[in-house]
Amino acid sequence: MSKATDADAELGVTLEINGQEVQAKQGETILEATERTDIDIPTLCAYADLTNVGACRMCLVEIDGSRLETACTTAVQDGMEVEVDTDDLWDHRQTILELMFSEENHYCMYCEMEGDCELEDMFNRAGLDSSRFPLEYPEIDPDTSNEFITMDLDRCISCGRCIRTCDEVVGNDTLSFGNRGKDATIVADDDVPLGESSCVSCGACVQSCPTGALYSPLSAYRGREEDCDVVQTTCSECSMGCELEVYTNSGRIVKIEGVEDGPDGGQLCEMGRFGLLGDDRDRIHEPSIRGEGAVGVDVATDRVADLLEDAETVDAVASDRLPSETLDAFAEAMDDYDAAVEVPGAGRAREEKRIARQVAKHFEKSPSGLRASGPRALLDADSVVVFDTDIVDTHPVAASYVRRASKGGATLLSVDEDEDRFGRKSDVSIEAGTGLDRVSEDAVEVVEEGASALSDVDAETLMDAVPALTSGIGVVVLGPDVSEDTIVNAYALAGMTGSKVLSLPRQANTGTDVGTDDLHGSADVAYLFAGDDREENVDRMLDVARGADTVIVQATRESILTKAADVVLPALDWFERSGTVTDASGADREIARVLEPRVAVDSDREVLSALSEAVEPQEVKP
Amino acid sequence: MSTLLQSDSLEEITSIEDLEALKRDGLDSLYPGKTKVLVGMSSCGRAAGADDVYDVLSDELDGAENAIVGQTGCLGFCDREPLVEVVEPNGQSIIYEEVTEDTAERLADAITRGDLPEGGVLAGRLHHEARSHDYDVPLFDEVPFYAPQERVVLGNSGLIDPEDLGEYVARDGFFALEEVLSSYTPEEVIDEVKDSNLRGRGGGGFPTGQKWEFLAGNEADEKYLICNADEGDPGAYMDRTLLESDPYSVIEGMIIAGYATGATHGYMYVRAEYPLAIDHLQNAIETLRSVGLLGDDILGSGYGFDLEIKKGAGAFVCGEETALMASIESERGMPRPRPPFPPQSGLWGKPTNINNVETWANVPQIVLEGADWFADIGTDQSGGTKVFSVTGDVRNTGLVEVPLGTELETVVFDIGGGTTGGDFKAVQTGGPSGGVIPEEYGDTPIDYDTLSELGSMMGSGGMIVIDESTCMVDQSRFFLDFCVDESCGKCPPCRYGTKKTLQILERITNGEGEAEDIEELRSLGDTMGEASLCGLGQTAPNPVMSTLDYFEQEYWAHIEDEECPAGDCELGGGAHANTYKILHDECVGCHQCAKACPVDAISGEQGEVHEIDPEACIGCGQCVEACPLDIIEVRGGEA
């Protein structure tokens, strides 16, 4: 049943499938063995890395001329003879499919998944276009209570892929089977509407559903996959840097999926999968100047260059969602005008590096030895400490790794000022300031003085926590809203216990070196490169704008910020940009252009280089 | 219950001497030197009124110097409950049948006088050292119901107080365990069980010793034993009765297996609908813990074993071993594909062995009497006896234990006393997973392999006798209806195949069958049988397939002639076609019918006109009996 076949295992088993000799690894299933061949065993309930359960019966194969077993759950054996396509097997598959056709609603022409449906493909493969049984499926009203996910259960084949995805991949356990027999169905929590359930709307179940039983209304009826162009890029919603597979049709983004064989295992969150689809803020197509209205790009850049040139002091702030190349160009252009440049969040990375160095020295380790390899290190953790459980909202994919670790038996300690968002999954919930987050602060001081000086600490909590961290692999997670003290604590705790720190800053691009200047505070001109930042994320820029005499905003969409601006320059949206960002694990991820820009500029960097070029040679001031 | 020995007064048992001391006390309790009045208090007895009988006897004999009243389990003849056995000090006894409160009162009088009546007698019995009987009553072994039986597993049932450890020990209980722990190696225990030819009594018939050997051969930090007491076949109650009547024997069997296989923890998976069995098991476990026969270092051997009860929440599929383990793990009771088999990866991924209640109960007897003795009782392929619950169109219903290899006809005619409503037609074994064996194979010796060859199966021991008054299509319809309710829904062949099959059978018994239906039934049955995930789905078509094999002409009679040869089903206008209706004009709303209805099919508030929901009604006729005004009409066939 386990998928955990050692990747390096030798192909030591020889069996025969459909008369063809197949080499396989000890312990892998017949289905896995065929993945290296052109033999295609039909499946419906097997999916990606989910546990195989043998439910759909499509992969029944005949073994050694007698018994029938499911290829997805039966391990290979030397000398085994397997037949996949006998008439008997296809008779059974046909009967099963006809039963589904009769007992479930599989009117393809009305279904969102038509053309992309695995069940439809299976009907075709089995040579079926009708059922010998009368159509008797129950009419079940679709559950539309969740704005991103519709459950249309009369199209459900009860393969359980969504349940296993919610359980094994997302770690959320929202979905399960309810009722039994012919009435068995998928239920959310205790059979409540999905929109009222514990569902986090990550959409992983939608991606895993083989039929039209789970779909997103945001993508529904907007084109089959074969009609779409697909581009892989990187999500900019947080520092996880998840890979996106973006489907476009007729110049519109219609669907976003995770990349199953990519580094994130195909997982996305509500923001990445659905939030990016539905940005209904008004787009800024061309530059404008207060009092003059819309102007050409050249007019606007000239005006901005003049304003910057004339200013004694310039404060420049750029969104941390922007690619490194764009941020570098921004810093360069602003440097030409002697501006003070800030990228919110950039300071944290620098600060963390400093702290890691100090702590590492203390524990005689290398700074990089204190840091986790990346968010997926959580999946192998034996114990996890989370400072700031709001990662449930800000880094939902990382939060699901935490839940999976906890479900897999890891000890989970949560430290938060408010509610512990991991709830019952936490083994210990600690209110910030009362215990664990003070442990290591003290620890730093007392490493030399001895453990008895940990007086200020809830000793019981410490004793509970530290042994868990010291045995096996420990990961200390730093959420987005943590104080500098907490960062010190986290690194010290890691140093003390041999654990690793996983830092999850809010911003998408954590690797930028630019933007760590101190701003003037009330400058003559504020240049605010907001890009497609969400309104809730532009507080810092608003502050800067309020202190400045003249405000220049380079933005993708209209907001309170652009309303306050004297000059507005257009900017690209996330799907029009290209470049690289550095994710939380320090890896560079590629941002690829999904759609051609439909604004007056072709790239953000073009605007910035125009500003650079406009600057007159620096006069040396006396 | 009044017992001479209270469990809380028991001393710890750490040696054979302690065990022998308890045996002496137990014998004193079994045979107290005065008249012992035993009331059969298993569920079958209680359902027939044994509680009231017990109360009357206790009251009447309260303070009597020459008699004492006690409880015991089931004596097997459920048809004749309540059964009361009066054992005189010299060891001769009389078993009275169908005892009522009135007859109990008279019986108490007679006991006080010392002169037992010879009416209302089922049999006389000789206990302990008694060799002859003074009364003019047939002896137990001569009564046709009991004569062909051999009570190995049921030896203590209806004799000892199931809540009294001493009485179990008086019957050599735990001496098998003592012998094993003191003088057997684990391998020798397994060899003994293998030599006995004991096969799994849950239905599959897998050799028990071999199963244990698999578990013993798998090293792990923890291994589990499970007793499968999720008995759920309609008409089967062997396991319930055994747990109610002799719980210690099952536990002793498990401890012996634990020693043999290296398992140290056990689970009793008992369906929650068996409250009395659970009570008796719980009492037994607590008592055994208090005397040290469960826990660390049992009988000074260094070996430790403990056990807990897990109540099943009412799903037939949880009798399937992988679903059962999922249920213990607090997961939804859905089967998993095998392999891995439980001895490789079972409960919580640890090596596990699962045996049925009756299998466990055989183990102490094999140790005490020897593998050869046990093997000699049965056939060459399977040793020992099998307990059956005999029901259906048969005169004597009850719990029957016969040596494997006994002919079916012996059970139907000698033990069962023949059919009730026409010529003998078939026997249905294996419940919803089994099939029918027609009359022409009546001389078939009962064994796992012979029944399988005939398209049925041993099953856990349900045996339904069918005579000419029962419609075979309706019989299949009944079992498919059961399977539709009990399918877990995980795999589509079972989830939908059972439903479609039931629909076709309903069509046929309603007189709306079509010629293609027969082929459809076979096709569906083939796919369900071959392609379903677990035993439930794989065997669900068996009742249909086997009746098609032997009684296809009955199906055709329904389809082509539009008649039911048995005059039984909806089409035949028989008992199963009855509809019950309350005459509204005359209903006074006394609510008696609603109270009597076992399935809550009758609605209506007190004082209002009541109504029977024909969908929910199971046609049992309880309401007709309960109605004081006789205004519930039965339409269709005969009541």
* Structural domain boundaries in chain B: 31-142, 165-374, 385-467, 472-560, 580-634
For residues B367 and B259, give the distance between their C-alpha atoms in angstroms, rounded to a whole number: 13
Residues of chain B neighbouring A133 (CB-CB closer than 8 A): 500
Residue ranges of alpha helices (H) inside B114-230 are: 165-170, 175-183, 186-195, 208-217
Indicate the CATH number for domain B385-467: 3.10.20.600
B102-136 residue pLDDT tens: 999 999 999 998 889 989 999 999 998 888 899 99
Nearest Cα of chain A lies from the Cα of B202 at a distance, in angstroms, of: 23
What is the C-alpha separation between B25 and A209, in angstroms, rounded?
67
Nearest CA distance, B493 vs chain A (angstrom): 6
B524 part of contact set with chain A, CB < 8 Å = yes
- The reply to whether CATH 2.60.40.10 applies to domain A349-503 is no
Contact pairs from chain A to chain B, CB under 8 Å: 103
Contact call for A68 and B531, based on CB within 8 A: yes
Contact assignment for B499 to A95 by CB distance below 8 Å: no
Q: Which two tokens stand for residue B179?
A: 């012998």
Contacts (Cβ under 8 Å, ≥6 apart) of A582: A241, A324, A509, A510, A511, A512, A588, A589
Helix (H) or strand (E) holding A475: strand A474-478
Contact B489 A69 (CB under 8 A): no
Residues of chain A found within 8 Å of residue B514, distances taken between Cβ atoms: none
Nearest to A96 among B317, B484, B492 (CB): B492
In this complex, the residue of B337, B496, B520 whose CB is nearest that of residue A73 is B337
> Given CA atoms B226, B229, B232, B235 in this order, what sign does their dihedral have?
positive
* Facing residue for B492 by CB, picked from A57, A132, A180: A57
- For residue A87, the distance in angstroms to the closest alpha carbon of chain B comes to 13
Distances (CA, A) of B8 to B11, B249, B299: 8, 20, 19
Q: Does B534 touch chain A (CB under 8 A)?
A: no
> Which is nearest to A212 in space by CA: A284, A299, A152, A158?
A152
CATH code of the region A288-346+514-574+599-613 = 3.40.50.740
Tokens (6 digits) for B155: 């030896």
Task: Please indicate whether, in this complex, the C-beta atoms of B492 and A158 are within 8 angstroms of each other.
Answer: yes
- Closest CB to B531 among A53, A60, A176: A60
Interface residue B492 vs chain A (CB under 8 A): yes
**Tokens found for residue B50:** 């044994």
Domain residue extents for chain A:
13-85, 288-346+514-574+599-613, 349-503
Closest alpha carbon to B335 in A69, A53, A100: A53
A282: contact with B, CB 8 A cutoff: no
> From CA A30, how far away is CA A9, in angstroms rounded?
16
| C-alpha to C-alpha distance for A301 and A342, rounded to whole angstroms | 21
Rounded Cα distance between B345 and B354, Å, is: 12
Q: Hey, which residues 5-64 in chain A have their CB within 8 Å of chain B? A: 53-57, 60
Average pLDDT of chain B is: 93
pLDDT tens for each residue of A307-356: 999 999 999 999 989 999 999 999 999 999 999 999 988 878 878 888 88
Quick check: A74 contacting B, CB < 8 Å?
A: yes
Distance CA A43, CA A54 (A): 9
Q: Do A100 and B498 touch (CB under 8 A)?
A: no
pLDDT given for residue B575 in this prediction: 66
A100 has a chain B CB within 8 A of its CB? yes
Superfamily of domain B31-142: Glutaredoxin (3.40.30.10)
Closest CA to B494 of B413, B426, B433: B433
Specify the pLDDT at position A366: 86
Given an 8 Å threshold on Cβ–Cβ distance, is B531 in contact with A57?
yes
Pairing of strands A13-17, A293-294: unpaired
pLDDT tens digit string along B379-406? 999 999 999 999 999 999 999 999 999 9
Residues of A in contact with B523 (CB under 8 A): 95
pLDDT (0 to 100) of residue A455: 35
Binned at pLDDT 50, 70 and 90, residue B636 comes out as low
pLDDT digit string, tens, across residues B199-239:
999 888 999 999 999 999 999 999 999 999 999 888 899 99
Helix, strand, coil content of chain A in percent (nearest 5): 35, 20, 45
What pLDDT does B329 receive?
95
* CATH 3.30.70.20 is held by the domain B580-634: yes
DSSP B591-628: -HHHHH-TT--EE--TTS--EE-TTT-----HHHHH-T
Q: How far is B452 from chain A (nearest CA, A)?
A: 17
Chain B 261-320, CB below 8 Å of chain A: which residues?
A: 315, 317
User: Least CA distance to B494: which residue of chain A?
Assistant: A181
Q: Which two tokens stand for residue A434?
A: 């009362």
Residues whose CB falls within 8 Å of the CB of residue B4, separated by 6 or more in sequence, listed in order: B25, B28, B29, B32, B68, B164, B166
Closest chain B residue by Cα to residue A70? B337
Q: Closest to A181 (Cβ–Cβ): which among B339, B484, B500? A: B484
Mean pLDDT score, A234-240:
92
Q: Nearest CA to CA, how far is A167 from chain B (Å)?
A: 12
Higher model confidence: residue A66 or residue B261?
B261
Query: Nearest-CA distance from B479 to chain A in Å?
Result: 15
Fold of B472-560: de novo design (two linked rop proteins) (1.20.1440)
Task: Judge whether A68 is closer than 8 Å to chain B, CB to CB.
Answer: yes
Distance from CA of A259 to the nearest CA of B (A): 29
List, in sequence order, every residue forming a beta bridge with A63; answer none if it has no partner.
Answer: A67, A82
Chain B residues inside the 8 Å CB shell of A96: 492-493, 527, 531
Residues B314-346 have pLDDT tens digits of 899 999 999 999 999 999 999 998 888 999 999
- Judge: B336–A69 Cβ closer than 8 Å, yes or no: no
A460 or A391, which is more confident = A391
- pLDDT value of residue B264: 97
Inter-chain residue contact A70 with B337, CB threshold 8 Å = yes
**pLDDT tens-digit map of A243-270:** 999 999 999 999 999 998 877 788 999 9
Please answer yes or no on whether B492 and A73 come within 8 Å at the CB atom.
Answer: no
pLDDT in tens, B458-481: 888 999 999 999 999 999 999 999
Q: Residue A346's pLDDT is what? A: 81
Tell me, yes or no, if B422 comes closer than 8 A to chain A by beta carbon: no
pLDDT class for A429, splitting at 50, 70, 90?
A: confident
Q: Is A66 helix (H, G, I), strand (E, B) or coil?
A: coil
Between chains, do A181 and B499 touch, taking CB under 8 Å as contact?
yes
Phi first, then psi: what are they for B253, rounded to 5°?
A: -60, -40
- Tell me whether A201 touches chain B (CB under 8 Å): no
Q: Do B531 and A92 touch (CB under 8 A)?
A: yes
State how far the Cα of B116 lies from the Cα of B112, in Å rounded to an integer: 9
Tokens of B564: 């039911």
The reply to whether residue A181 touches residue B493, judged by beta carbons under 8 angstroms, is no
Partner B contacted by A154 (CB < 8 A): no
pLDDT bracket for residue A413 (50, 70, 90)? confident
CATH architecture of the domain with range B165-374: 3-Layer(aba) Sandwich (3.40)
CATH of domain A13-85: 3.10.20.740
**Is the CB of A99 inside 8 Å of chain B's CB atoms?**
yes
pLDDT at A536: 75
A2 pLDDT more than 70: no
ipTM, two decimals, is 0.88
Pairing of strands A150-151, B35-40: unpaired
Amino acid at A379: L
Q: Say yes or no for a CB contact (<8 Å) between A160 and B490.
A: yes
- Region A481-495: mean pLDDT is 79
Any chain A CB within 8 A of the CB of B484? yes
Report yes or no: A413 and A431 within 8 Å, Cβ to Cβ: no
pTM above 0.95, yes or no: no
User: Rounded distance, CA A394 to CA A272, Å?
Assistant: 11
Give the residue from A467, A490, A487 showing the smallest Cα distance to A385. A490
| Per-residue pLDDT tens digits for B8-20 | 568 899 999 999 9
